[in-house]
Amino acid sequence: MFLLSCLPILLPVLAGAFLFLWNPESRRAREIYVMASALLTTSIILAAILTTYTQGHDATDCTLVRFSSGMTLSLHIDRASMIFGMIIAVLWPITTAYAFEYMKHEGKENKFFGFFLMSYGVVCGIAFAEDFLTLYIFYEMLTLSTLPLVMHSLDQKARYAGRKYFIYSFSGAAAVFILLIFLMQYGTTLNFTYGGVLDLKKIVGEESILRAVFVLSFFGFGVKAAVFPVHSWLPDASVAPTPVTALLHAVAVVKSGVFAIMRLIYFGFGTEFLYGTSAQTVVMAAAIVTIVFGSARAVRAQHFKRRLAYSTISNLSYIVLGFTLMTPAGLTAGLVHMVFHAVLKITLFFCAGAVMYKTGREYVYEMPGLARKMPIVFATYTVSALGLLGLPPLGGFVGKWNIATASVALGTPMGYAGAAALIVSAVLTVLYLLPVTVDSIWSRDTLVYDDAHAPKDPNAYMCVPLLLLTAGGVALAFVSQPLMALLSGVAAGM
Amino acid sequence: MLPFYRYIPFLCILLCLLGAILLAAGKNGRAAFVISVAGALVTAVLSGILLIRLMQTNESFVFVMGRFPAPFGNELKAGPLQALLSTCFSLVIALSLLGGWSDLKHDVKPDKLNLYFVMVSLTLASLYVLTYTNDMFTGYVFIEISTLSACALVMAKDRGQTLVATLRYLFLSLLGSGLFLIGIVLLYSVTGHLLMKQVSEHIAALRATGEFTLQLAFIVGLFTAGLGVKSAMFPFHRWLPDAHGSTTTASSAILSGTVIKGTAILLITLFCRVFTLDTVDKLHIDNVVFVLGLMGMIFGSVSAIRERHSKRMLAWSSIAQMGYIFTGIGLGTRAGICAACFHILVHATSKSMLFCCVGRLSAVNGHRKMLKELQGSARRDVLAGVGFTLGALSMIGIPLLAGFASKLYLATSTMGSATKMGATLIAIALSTVLNALYYIPAVVTVWSTPDGESPERAPHDPTFVIAAVVSIAAVVLLGVAYTPVMHMVEVGFALL
Amino acid sequence: MLFLPLLFPLAGGICAFLIKKERPRNLCVMAALILTLASSVALCLRGAEPVTLLNIGGGISLRLGIDGMGRFFLLLMSAVWLIVAPFAFPYIKHEGRDRQFFGFYLLTLLSLMGLCVSKNAVTLYMFYELMTLLSIPLVLHSGTERARYAALKYLGYSVAGASLALFGLFLLHHYGGSGDFAAGGILPNVGSSQWLLVLAWFLMTLGFGCKAGMIPMQAWLTTAHPVAPAPASAVLSGIITKAGVLGIIRTTYFVFGPDILVGTWAQKTLMILALLTVLSGSMLAYKEKHLKKRLAYSTVSQVSYALFGLLLLTPTGALGALLQVFFHAAAKDVLFLAAGAMIYRTGREYADQYRGIGREMPVTLWCFAIGALSLIGIPPTGGYFSKWYLATSAIEYYGALGVVGAAVLLLSALLTAGYLLPIVARGFFPGRDYIPERREVGASMLVPMILLALSALIPGLFSGLLAMPLSLLSASLF
Amino acid sequence: MMSFLNTLVQHRYAITATILFVVGLMNLMQQRYLVRKVIGFNIMDAAIFLLLASRGYVEGRMAPVVAEGTAERAAELYINPVPAGLVLTGIVVSVSVSAFSLALIQKIYREYGSSDIKELVHLVKRED
């Protein structure tokens, strides 16, 4: 049974590697192969999650490598892993389908899909990691496996973006490495344990330095979670092909960072060690600043994907804010927003990508009248935008509501500031999302096309994912209560 | 009559020296190649046997050469650590030769080839002696021998550049060995002995009385400086990039992989066996070494970032890696020294692999050496590309590869002294990023094809294939199953 | 039962989008509106049990229910919507893009209906946001650069306001502020954290005040209303602003309850803001030449009358406010429609261009006159009563501030007279040398104006008719 | 004054060696021309050997040539032989090193027609 938890990691990695050796000639063959392996992985992930859910952890625990007594590369599926695992398991095949169409005009598909599959496995590893060492390992792997995707086009901008990306990521990883050393020294174990792993006897007198290490490693993971001030790789990385920006830079990679932060706070140092300390103040402040900063920059950004990237930065910090509250409510709230933001933001990116793909327009002021040509794309865009800007009862609102109320419940000035930041960012969100819709529908100066070249909605490869995701996003909002019931399991240490 | 395994160290040295003579006699380069590889492998096997044996019996022994008993005679001392290191060295040299063979044929005049292998076996011999010797003066002699043979290896590629590089290398080494010699002389005049055991006894006595502290400090300083020059410790590193960067592949691999380590090992031996760590600590030499190590770590990487020449970049990175080793030594603790020893193993395997792969990559791209000229070469020889990538990642310290393990050990070994811990952790974090800064772009370059045209595969190079596969295996193995190796190192340290 | 008033507009809106032919579309729109009105009447008579639409995680749920206040607004809004619609048919026809207009026209009504029947603050917030988003297309209708600018301004301000309200809600949730509405407040006795609650109230009132065009967030109103086509601006000024008022009523009387608010700094500040708005609105209207802009300014001022009344936190004040809501709705709608009709016919947009218009379109101008009188508050029109109640209650209950308030109301009434009556006067008495030509608008435009004019007039004549129930209603708030 | 002279006399070898060593070192470091560097290195070595030899020498004893019957009284009869042995080894080493380096210099001179280190470095720089 333990295969269930390690297969979803090994399978895509090997499948991706095999793609390089095989190097299929026909696009059709590759598509079938990639899709099959993606779907297979997805089904295995879901199976694993289901097994764990029904039969308990022991069913799926597994140790891949045993370095030494205390240090292992091992997998363990707990409630949080399930959530994250489910998100990626659902989104990956959809994105793959979208990518088939999109990558036609980007080229080098073989390389792309190879690394795309690999990163699937790696993200899975992050989701299922049992201890900090495993997490760290996959965290590094993630950087490496996604770097080629960011640098895909290998032109000047891509190289620059990639360079920035890996410098930031490696700096983050280096900080995490220091964390690892300290946990080995002051922790009882490296395994995630809800409530923290610190050895209370050892840390006497060392609290301050440990808190410093916490902050350091927070920003270390914060690189991937794009927390201010280590965020700036993300907007630049939006030069990557849209499937990458959509899936990796809105869901997989950045959520891995957020997920790691969650592990760090609740399963590493433990809330009672951090709650109410200056360390918490610092990280909360960082999250709050990021929320406002991200939205503000998004309003100013004119490049469509860049704007969405900044919006991602801001929204990620909603989640981080939830986590940094260090209360069960905050944890649940953060996870909820994690789920919703994943679905909504990937849809938005897909829309942006579809527009770029069909019309080659990248800037928001180039949209006038397009909605009348590409109704499906812009309808889905608008719905998801409404969801993201927090129109009740859609997803964004649920997340925002829970995070804000949780942070108010903190009762500290920081808590109120957090809620206020959410409000400000909500206003800004409207201002950077809706004008696109408005222009695309209402502007008078609709550009005139000769009907031959008039842009149309893209074909099913793109539209079906769009519609699926939008429908999913709306549907999720209506089951938000059971969803939260599920998520609160994490806070219960399940 | 002693049991067989006690002869092994002596036997290995003898084998190498005889091999050298034999090869000098022959004329056929290929035969010389086969012989020396075989010889290296044989010594490796022998040392391996010794290692296993010593691990079983958990002992270290003294081998008296000649008929003079202590305090006059000339001794070797072998423990698990020495056995381990010498196994590693033999293997690395064998692999380097295999990996660099085709380049040798390209770079060295055919009639000189056999002489090249003479030098190689001399190098191996000197390495063995430096590892095993229990006698200071023998150490000095073989430092000189290793210098000469190393110089020969550098100038094997007969170009003006390499000649000048060799010369600079030679003079600096002469300075270093000169310092070392003075150290010996002074030590002798203070203690009246040359055998490490006796010397250390005297030093213990001196410390008890508290005399000669200044002299001791001076002596240890001389040793450190002298050996530091030989193994490219930070301020004395300037000779290395040219020497290692400009010569033929095999030489670079051997020099970076092994030769600069030999003297470092001798330094470790002196610190632990002769002066004992707490003396060194009292004299504050370890702090100096520590600081120099850190500076080397950073400075080497920074210079590597600025370097455009592929092999010289690797050479700079060697300086940085030696920085790791000296940092470990400079910690002046058991854990630190063990980490240093482990890193010696790691760097020996990784760096020789890197050099071989780069050599191969530049070979398939028409022997062009500049980084940007290597574009797409990894596609011409995928194995070399993979090897280079893995080596680079290991140097950066990606988990599951050798580099990560040693980084981990070095970092954990700093726990205890707050200041050194902080400094080391920061430096390691910094150098990780810096390493990434020059290795990742290099990797990207070798894999990226210039504007889409797909380069054809280069013809296979069997010897390189063997070398690459084995080294890759070694690097991964050291990264995954490092616990037993580390165990050997620790046992060996206890028995130093 | 509760869903019907939401269902009909929704269905109608969708039909309006789909049906291409004009007549059937108009028919279906009318039908939808009539059905909406009917269903809301029925709902008001029958009443209904509160229902839960959806439980959102985090201890909140979307609930619908109907109560007195809901009934009042429900009827008002659906009625006005129905009345204005016929006017819009010809008007929009010459503006173009009819399907889009009527679709959103009906959907906006849907959101308003929802606003009236929402049972707790979150639901209210939801429909409030929805209303903003759905009414934007009405502003955007022409699609010109000005319209876009106005729409985005409108959007920004409204969302900012709504978010302020939401922030208040965040603060409240902890104290049960997201529970069902109940007259007199639903907050348990909160001792120490009262400052927080008062702050929350202040923010929420400011937020909802944005829609009601209260200082400091009134700037959008005078940009957005004029650019919209006349029927749209009519309902925007007449009704949508009232949605803000409803929001404030809900928060003040149904969530916080007057008791914990009376005499707080927040109340005084807000009252001052309201008075400032009243005054500045009238002054700007007086200075403004562009007719629709002028009317928009007057809206700013007039709606703040109602806010002032509400903020007095007294039964009489509340009664005055409710009356003001009703009468201003009627009067301002008729004014906008009349203005629209005049512009529609003459194409003149500035207040001083309507010399002799009374000869050319007498009915229109009569309606305009009645609306103006009611807005000024000249007996026996309805406006008189509302302002009377407001002034008296102000003086009764509040010392200095009350007197100042009364004075301001009076002054503003004079200004109102100053900026409305001249149009009427010059319209009817252009002077001798004027050769009028008949160009009265058609019945479908006249009927709504007349109806609205009457509704601004009649209840004034028989004031009991309206005042009785409303006074009961306002009394029930305390 | 006297005592100072005494110490000078006592440590005459050491002092001479030091002076020589410094001279040699300076040559090795500062000289531009390679041959001179080699000479400097030789001077340096000579200094060291002098020092070493002086360590082993004891006033009034004879060279350790073991004759009949003197073996048992070796300890007080002979000077310490070890340093002498070391010196011999050292000389061998230094000779071979000098030879090597001279050969190298010759090669370089053939290559570049110069033995000026600065110039050489410059030339090499120009190569790549």
Q: Which residues of C touch A416 (CB under 8 A)?
A: 171
Q: Which chains touch A (3 or more CB pairs under 8 A)?
A: B, C
> For an interface test with A, which of B386, B432, B446, B456 has the most A Cβ atoms less than 10 Å from its Cβ?
B432
Contact assignment for B480 to A174 by CB distance below 8 Å: no
Any A CB within 8 A of C52 CB: no
**ipTM rounded to 2 decimals:** 0.85
Q: For the segment A242-275, what is each residue's pLDDT rounded down to a tens digit?
A: 888 888 788 888 999 999 999 999 988 888 888 8
Which DSSP state fits A62?
E
pLDDT higher for A58 or B77?
B77
Q: Measured between CA atoms, how close is C167 to chain A, in angstroms?
A: 6
* pLDDT bucket at A198, cuts 50 / 70 / 90: confident
Indicate whether A446 pLDDT > 60. Answer: no
Segment B330-350 mean pLDDT: 90
Which chain D residue is nearest to residue B160, measuring alpha carbons?
Answer: D111
Which region holds residue B269: left if phi is over 0, alpha if psi is between -120 and 50, else beta?
Answer: alpha
Q: Measured between CA atoms, how close is B312 to chain D, in angstroms?
A: 12
* pLDDT bucket at D74, cuts 50 / 70 / 90: low
Contact assignment for D104 to B171 by CB distance below 8 Å: no
Any D CB within 8 A of B151 CB: yes
Structure tokens at A340: 């919703």
Contact assignment for B425 to A178 by CB distance below 8 Å: yes
User: Which of B163, B181, B309 is the closest to D128 by Cβ?
Assistant: B309
- What sign does the dihedral C174-C175-C176-C178 (CA atoms) show? negative
Q: Which chains touch D (3 or more CB pairs under 8 A)?
A: B
Q: H or E element: which one contains A74?
A: strand A72-75
Q: Which residues contact D97 (CB under 8 A, 6 or more apart)?
A: B144, B147, B148, B170, B174, D41
The pLDDT of residue A293: 93
- Cβ atoms of A344 and A399 within 8 Å: the answer is no
- Look up residue C38 and give its amino acid: A
Lowest model confidence (mean pLDDT) among A325-339, A363-377, C110-124:
A363-377
C144 C-beta neighbours (distance < 10 Å), count: 15
Angstrom distance (rounded) from CA A493 to CA C102? 53
Does chain A reach chain B with at least 3 CB pairs under 8 Å?
Answer: yes
Torsion angle of C-alpha atoms C295, C301, C303, C307, degrees rounded to 10: 180
A278 C-beta neighbours (distance < 10 Å), count: 12
Spatial CA neighbour of C227 closest among C99, C354, C343, C77: C343
Angstrom distance (rounded) from CA A408 to CA A417? 9
Contact assignment for A181 to B448 by CB distance below 8 Å: no
Indicate whether A405 pLDDT > 60. Answer: yes
Which DSSP state fits A437?
H
* Backbone angles phi and psi of B246, in degrees to 5: -95, -10
3-class DSSP assignment, residue C148: helix
Q: Which residues of A touch B (CB under 8 A)?
A: 65, 67-68, 73, 107, 133, 136-137, 140-141, 144, 147, 151, 154, 159, 162-163, 166-167, 170-171, 173-175, 177-178, 180-181, 184-185
Q: For the segment B100-131, what is each residue's pLDDT rounded down to a tens digit?
A: 888 888 888 888 888 888 999 999 999 999 99
Segment A354-359 mean pLDDT: 84
Q: How many domains does chain A have?
A: 1
* pLDDT bucket at D66, cuts 50 / 70 / 90: low
- Cβ atoms of B339 and B413 within 8 Å: the answer is yes
A153 C-beta neighbours (distance < 10 Å), count: 17
Angstrom distance (rounded) from CA B88 to CA B84? 6
Give the burial class of B361: count Cβ atoms within 10 A of its Cβ; 0-12 exposed, 13-18 middle, 19 or more buried: buried
Percent share of chain D, pLDDT over 70: 84
Q: For the segment B198-229, what is each residue's pLDDT rounded down to a tens digit?
A: 888 888 888 888 777 788 888 889 999 999 99
Which chain B residue is nearest to residue A152, measuring alpha carbons?
Answer: B448
Contact assignment for B148 to D105 by CB distance below 8 Å: no
Which chain A residue is nearest to residue C163, measuring alpha carbons?
Answer: A423
Q: What are the residue ranges in chain C where pLDDT is below 70?
A: 189-191
- Domain encompassing residue B438: 4-494
Q: For the segment B302-313, what is each residue's pLDDT rounded down to a tens digit?
A: 999 988 888 889
Segment A454-474 mean pLDDT: 83
Q: Measured between CA atoms, how close is D9 to chain B, in angstroms?
A: 18
- Look up residue A438 and give its amino acid: V
Angstrom distance (rounded) from CA C168 to CA C255? 11
Q: Which residues of B touch D109 (CB under 8 A)?
A: none
Which chain C residue is nearest to residue A421, measuring alpha carbons?
Answer: C167
User: Which of A408, A430, A443 is the closest to C170 by Cβ?
Assistant: A408
Q: Measured between CA atoms, how close is B176 to chain D, in angstroms?
A: 11
Contact assignment for A170 to B436 by CB distance below 8 Å: yes
Single pTM value for the model: 0.88
Q: Which residues of C touch A426 (CB under 8 A)?
A: 159, 163, 166
Q: Which residues of A touch B444 (CB under 8 A)?
A: 147, 151, 159, 162
Angstrom distance (rounded) from CA B359 to CA B245? 11
Spatial CA neighbour of C427 closest among C376, C358, C369: C358
Q: How many domains does chain B have?
A: 1
For C231-266, give one letter per residue: b (16+ CB within 10 A) or e.
Answer: bbbbbbbbbbbbbbbbbbbbbbbbbbbbebbeebeb
Instruction: Compute CA distances B432 → A168, A400, B51, C168, whole Å.
Output: 12, 38, 33, 48
Give the burial class of A51: count Cβ atoms within 10 A of its Cβ; 0-12 exposed, 13-18 middle, 19 or more buried: middle
Q: For the segment C229-255, what is each residue's pLDDT rounded down to a tens digit?
A: 888 888 888 888 889 999 999 988 888
Q: Which residues of B touch A170 (CB under 8 A)?
A: 396, 432-433, 436
Contact assignment for A166 to B393 by CB distance below 8 Å: no
Size of the B and D interface in Cβ pairs below 8 Å: 87
Q: Measured between CA atoms, how close is D2 to chain B, in angstroms?
A: 25
- What sign does the dihedral D110-D111-D113-D117 (CA atoms) show? negative
Angstrom distance (rounded) from CA B282 to CA B284? 5
> For an interface test with D, which of B74, B175, B185 has the most D Cβ atoms less than 10 Å from its Cβ?
B185
Contact assignment for D97 to B148 by CB distance below 8 Å: yes
- Look up residue A370 and give its amino acid: L
Which chain A residue is nearest to residue B448, measuring alpha carbons?
Answer: A154
The pLDDT of residue A219: 92
Angstrom distance (rounded) from CA A189 to CA A181? 12
For C91-109, give one letter per residue: b (16+ CB within 10 A) or e.
Answer: bbeebebbbbbbbbbbbbb
Which chain B residue is nearest to residue A136, measuring alpha carbons?
Answer: B399
Angstrom distance (rounded) from CA D9 to CA D18? 14
What number of H helices and E strands is found in chain A? 20, 2
Which DSSP state fits C288?
-
Q: Measured between CA atoms, how close is C61 to chain A, in angstroms?
A: 9
User: Which of A68, A167, A180 is the closest to B433 by Cβ?
Assistant: A167
Angstrom distance (rounded) from CA C149 to CA D77? 113
Q: Which residues of C touch A393 (CB under 8 A)?
A: 53-54, 56, 62, 126
Contact assignment for C142 to A444 by CB distance below 8 Å: yes
Contact assignment for B436 to A166 by CB distance below 8 Å: yes
Domains of chain D, first to last: 2-127 (1.10.287.3510)
Helical pair A413-442 and A278-300, crossing angle rounded to 10 deg: 20
Indicate whether A363 pLDDT > 60. Answer: yes
Q: CA triplet C194, C198, C204: central angle to 5 degrees?
A: 145
Q: Which residues of B touch A167 (CB under 8 A)?
A: 433, 436-437
* Backbone angles phi and psi of B146, in degrees to 5: -65, -35
The pLDDT of residue D128: 64
Spatial CA neighbour of C387 closest among C324, C329, C325: C324
Percent share of chain A, pLDDT over 90: 13
Q: Measured between CA atoms, how close is A46 to chain C, in angstroms?
A: 24
The pLDDT of residue B348: 92
The pLDDT of residue D72: 63
Per residue, the 3-state secondary structure of chain B, as one string, reads CCCHHHHHHHHHHHHHHHHHHHHHHCCCHHHHHHHHHHHHHHHHHHHHHHHHHHHHHCCCEEEEECCCCCCCCEEEEECHHHHHHHHHHHHHHHHHHHHHHHHHHHHCCHHHHHHHHHHHHHHHHHHHHHHHECEHHHHHHHHHHHHHHHHHHHCCCCCHHHHHHHHHHHHHHHHHHHHHHHHHHHHHHHHCCCEHHHHHHHHHHHHHHCCCHHHHHHHHHHHHHHHHHHCCCHHHCCHHHHHHHHCCHHHHHHHHHHHHHHHHHHHHHHHHHHHCHHHHHHCCHHHHHHHHHHHHHHHHHHHHHHCCEHHHHHHHHHHHHHHHHHHHHHCCCHHHHHHHHHHHHHHHHHHHHHHHHHHHHHHHCCCCCEHHHHCCHHHHCHHHHHHHHHHHHHHHCCCCCHHHHHHHHHHHHCCCCHHHHHHHHHHHHHHHHHHHHHHHHHHHHHHCCHHHCCCCCCCCCHHHHHHHHHHHHHHHHHHHCHHHHHHHHHHHHHCC
Indicate whether B397 pLDDT > 60. Answer: yes
* pLDDT bucket at B69, cuts 50 / 70 / 90: low
Spatial CA neighbour of C100 closest among C225, C13, C9: C13
Angstrom distance (rounded) from CA C60 to CA C55? 6
Q: Which residues of D touch B151 (CB under 8 A)?
A: 100, 104
Q: In Å, how far from its chain's centre is CA C364? A: 22
Segment B461-465 mean pLDDT: 88
A482 C-beta neighbours (distance < 10 Å), count: 11
Which DSSP state fits A393?
T
3-class DSSP assignment, residue C135: helix
Segment A62-79 mean pLDDT: 83
Cis before A235 (ω within 30): no
- Domain encompassing residue A364: 3-491
Q: H or E element: which one contains A349?
A: helix A328-359
Angstrom distance (rounded) from CA A90 to CA A84? 10
Q: Which residues of B touch A180 (CB under 8 A)?
A: 408
Indicate whether A453 pLDDT > 70. Answer: no
Contact assignment for B429 to A178 by CB distance below 8 Å: yes
The pLDDT of residue B276: 83
pLDDT higher for A59 or A88?
A88
